[in-house]
Chain A
């Protein structure tokens, strides 16, 4: 595990992509081949089933360290990471063991089905044999959740560099279905599992935000315009009689959307569709907040099925008749897509995402302004001769979103961040005015520069009124403009409504707290979007 521990340290100490890739390449050059599939699985979020619940792990750590639970909680809020908190509060190890990474992982997997007592004795012995950094990694192995700032793309680039293989092939291979205990690193690089696997999706083609006037894109006739839908980007794969639905996050979400299962019978084998999973009711796309109510649930009940029925708006076809057609121009792929959708017997669930007719950029801009009426986020512009790229590439596809909503708010609470910002107040709660009172409307973390964070931090230190654990109530003085993508009714929030994807647009140093928006302003906005 030493070599892996070193890799983690190297990855953590640099913010530069090149340094991280260099650290990964040297890891793949030096590490035990048997460890590598596990590392790739971890970094791409392929989690093994948790052998032990978080609650138990936490309980044992508290017991062993002899501190009260509230103090563990305070420690956690200071550190910002549970695995690390546990690694730090445990008493120093009395022994030292070195086992290769794959062995640790295999041993943890074998704990499945054991009694809690057996699990506990294994974990305690491990903790007592590892130093702080190794313990931290061991705890991460238990949770299987290793977010370390390595994107799939970065990992793939590193493996490609190390193995001198084509990166898109490696992307295919690691995105497919495989188990680290059933595949060797060499097989993984070679993509040995991919051909026999029915489920593998293609990497999504992503668009950059349009950063120029559309006129600069040239002739309108070279472009296809579509609505940019606000749902879950998805890929539907039908091969050898099996149906798979992948989300953009490379998760298999087939079971979450039973409405789409008819495609298993109706799509021809060897078909892969790209599109947006949306909630569509009576022919109208509903807001993302409606769709959200039924996402990531283990079971979906009847009222969810009737309140938020699913539709799939198809954008593109990537595989047809078992052949990868991503290199065909968009115009040709669209023709095939029209046929495929037209041939479905079940109508009105899997639909073509409409192509917008337009003959001038001015006309298109006018149409774009109506996006919100359709619950769309704006437009997508795709070059008619474009291939379906792997990942994000400039030039062929652009998203031309409508501007977000904004609201002026005042900061009322601050909390220290986690990760690299654990020592600074970076998590803020914002309020709008409701008569004489201030009412919480959003929490936001991002959007400030490090310099601004330091400034806010010193404001919080000087103006904290009350403490609630890690939270500080501060004088309502600092005004921030919050941008958000949507607004929905919410019983859980005191304000009776919730903002979607709120983030700090800018710090309005020019405004005073009595100039912020009111709750009525937001209610009006809510009523206008329903």
Chain B
């Protein structure tokens, strides 16, 4: 294997002696983005994008040992040229480009190709070896343009509003929440859970242009919430706090909502197939654009997707990793308690 190898600690670059998104503590970890399945606490050093730093600080208390880079700026680590390119997944998410003696490898972390209005738009990077996710690596996943989905969400909220229902959108605190806020702002006041408000503050401090939202506190009256949009992370969706709102209507925002079974599994009142991962066509488009000779498929529909790539003439192999468990999202212990 060339520039990277897959070890039981994570993706390892031997020449540079660093890991990318390791799941066991190492000396030097390059971090693609701030989701919990890609960041483990306890590494000696972290390298990430400028806008991932506030996330690491806010969520994991990491600060002093975090080094940052903007997109598209090359640094040298033990002779390996390393640079970051936007992955379009969440704010700060990066593809890691490695170059050593003319050999180029790109580790994409999680990505989507559609511009979401808040994360820097995905940029294909030419390389010899590409490491891709395949969360939605089946042809049943085709996203609608996000404008259409936001229109559906606004219609749903408007309808709830007139029926006296409280509109609760379920979205990951990091990524989906900011995407919703950015694109839904203006139509209704937006109330957000602590875990989201904390991240938003960190982003605003770091210079991200985020519309204003209201942090949910016990003082806010239920009929105020009923007139707005409430955004909470998935772990709270089945909680008591939600049940006690005025006629709660739960709208889950996730790519899994594209399939009826996904919509039915959670007790959702509405499902919006809004994903921060590439759909089937997006994955293929991104991979072809890299012109890579070899594609490693990490998490998701790895076996199927990898088999298909081989069939269409792109040499591919599946790799076992510990990514893809965003459901276990870390929102901080103090936030797991329900809002009193």
Min CB gap B211→A, angstroms: 29
* Majority SS at the chain A contact face: helix
Interface readout for B250-268 with A: 1 if CB under 8 Å, 0 if not? 0000001011111111011
Q: How many residues of B contact A (CB 8 A)?
A: 25
The interface residues of chain B lying within 8 Å CB-to-CB of A68 are: 308, 311
Are A420 and B264 neighbours in the complex by a CB distance under 8 Å? yes
In the bound complex, how far is the Cα of B256 from the Cα of A136, in angstroms?
Answer: 17
Q: A67-B139, A68-B311, A467-B303 are in contact. Are A420 and B261 (CB under 8 A)?
A: yes
Are B140 and A78 neighbours in the complex by a CB distance under 8 Å? yes
In the bound complex, how far is the Cα of B258 from the Cα of A78, in angstroms?
Answer: 12
Name the residue of chain A whose CB is nearest to the CB of B250: A13
Contact of B304 with A by CB under 8 A: yes
Contact of A7 with B by CB under 8 A: no
Interface readout for B121-155 with A: 1 if CB under 8 Å, 0 if not? 00000000000000000111110000000000000
Are A12 and B259 neighbours in the complex by a CB distance under 8 Å? no
Contact of A214 with B by CB under 8 A: no
Q: Which of B70-108 contact A (CB under 8 A)?
A: none
Are B260 and A81 neighbours in the complex by a CB distance under 8 Å? yes
Q: A88-B258, A422-B261 are in contact. Are A65 and B139 (CB under 8 A)?
A: yes
Contact of B326 with A by CB under 8 A: no
Min CB gap B335→A, angstroms: 22
Which 3 residue pairs of A and B lie closest in terms of their CB atoms, listed nearest first? A422-B261, A420-B264, A88-B140
Interface residue range, chain A:
20 to 34
Contact of B223 with A by CB under 8 A: no
Extra 14 A-B pairs, beta carbons < 8 Å, given A68-B308, A79-B259, A421-B265: A12-B260, A13-B269, A13-B271, A65-B139, A67-B139, A75-B138, A78-B259, A79-B140, A81-B261, A89-B140, A418-B261, A420-B261, A422-B261, A424-B265
Min CB gap B168→A, angstroms: 14
The interface residues of chain A lying within 8 Å CB-to-CB of B259 are: 78-79, 84, 88, 422
The interface residues of chain B lying within 8 Å CB-to-CB of A419 are: 260-261, 264
- In the assembled complex, 16 residue pairs joining A and B whose CB atoms fall closer than 8 Å, in A order, are A12-B260, A13-B268, A67-B139, A71-B139, A71-B308, A72-B139, A75-B138, A75-B140, A79-B140, A84-B259, A84-B260, A88-B139, A88-B259, A418-B261, A419-B264, A422-B259
Interface readout for A395-421 with B: 1 if CB under 8 Å, 0 if not? 000000000000000000000001111
The interface residues of chain A lying within 8 Å CB-to-CB of B260 are: 12, 79, 81, 84, 136, 419
Picked from B142, B265, B268, B270, the residue with its CB within 8 Å of the CB of A88 is B142
Picked from A70, A418, A423, the residue with its CB within 8 Å of the CB of B262 is A423
Q: A71-B304, A84-B259, A467-B303 are in contact. Are A423 and B139 (CB under 8 A)?
A: no
Name the residue of chain B whose CB is nearest to the CB of A424: B265
Are B139 and A80 neighbours in the complex by a CB distance under 8 Å? no
Contact of A85 with B by CB under 8 A: yes
Contact of A74 with B by CB under 8 A: yes
In the bound complex, how far is the Cα of B269 from the Cα of A13, in angstroms?
Answer: 6
Contact of A92 with B by CB under 8 A: yes
Interface readout for A76-94 with B: 1 if CB under 8 Å, 0 if not? 0011110011001100100
The interface residues of chain B lying within 8 Å CB-to-CB of A65 are: 139
In the bound complex, how far is the Cα of B260 from the Cα of A92, in angstroms?
Answer: 18
In the bound complex, how far is the Cα of B280 from the Cα of A89, in angstroms?
Answer: 10
Are A423 and B264 neighbours in the complex by a CB distance under 8 Å? no
Min CB gap B331→A, angstroms: 20
In the bound complex, how far is the Cα of B141 from the Cα of A92, in angstroms?
Answer: 11
The interface residues of chain A lying within 8 Å CB-to-CB of B264 are: 12-13, 419-420
Picked from A85, A420, A467, the residue with its CB within 8 Å of the CB of B140 is A85
The interface residues of chain A lying within 8 Å CB-to-CB of B307 are: 70
